[in-house]
Amino acid sequence: MRYKNSCVLTTVSVVLLVLSFPMPANSAGDAAQLEEHELRISNLERRVLELEAKLRAASGSGVTLTSNPTLAAWRKIQEGMTWREVRAVLGEPKTIDGGNIESWYYSNSLNHSNVRFLDGRVRWWNEPR
């Protein structure tokens, strides 16, 4: 009986020892996916800081956080612009839809008056009708 308990204890110890070591990534795809998630988290943290700063600056000042940009402003948008550059030209969007392709909407319509970003840069946009 003592021998059997000793074997069980040894087996459990070996299993716990193996489980305590970190597991390496299974493939290059795992590493790329991890890097993508880390980049996305970093971008989200940066956006939260920017939005908090805007809210602090606008509180009590009567400033409207959303805008209704003119067609002339829309004509200044170019592929490759950053979030900050678009904000400087069009102002704050009414709605932001995050995801792999982030969309900023400047009207209640999903079909126009929007800017789409890929990796933090303008990729597509639709002017107002």
pTM of the shown model: 0.50
The total of structural domains in the chain comes to: 2
Residue 38: its pLDDT value, please?
82
Assess whether 37 and 73 both reside in one domain: no
Same domain for 129 and 101?
Answer: yes
Q: Do 44 and 76 share a domain, yes or no?
A: no
Task: Mark whether 51 and 76 lie in a shared domain.
Answer: no
Q: Taking phi first (over 0 means left), then psi (-120 to 50 degrees means alpha), and beta for anything else, what does residue 21 get?
A: beta
User: Which tens digit of pLDDT belongs to each residue from 27-45?
Assistant: 677 888 888 888 888 788 7
Looking at this protein, which amino acid is placed at residue 27?
Answer: S
The reply to whether 71 and 127 lie within a common domain is: yes
> In this structure, are 42 and 96 located in the same domain?
no
- Residues 70 and 129 both lie in one domain: yes
Averaged pLDDT, 104-114:
85
Query: Collapsing DSSP states into helix, strand and coil, what is residue 99?
Result: coil
Model pLDDT for residues 67-89, shown as the tens digit of each residue: 789 999 999 999 999 999 999 99
- Reduced to 3 states, what is the DSSP secondary structure of residue 34? helix
- The Cα 5–Cα 11 span in angstroms is 10
Residue 83's CATH number:
3.30.1450
Non-local (6+) Cβ contacts of 31 within 8 A are 25
Q: Tell me, yes or no, whether 75 and 53 share the same domain.
A: no
Identify whether 59 is part of a domain. Answer: yes
Whole domain around residue 45: which residue ranges? 30-64
Residues 70 and 53 in one domain: no
Asked if residue 85 and residue 55 are part of one domain, the reply reads no
Task: Kindly report the average pLDDT of the chain as a whole number.
Answer: 78
Query: Strand order in 101-105's β-sheet?
Result: 95-97, 101-105, 114-118, 121-126
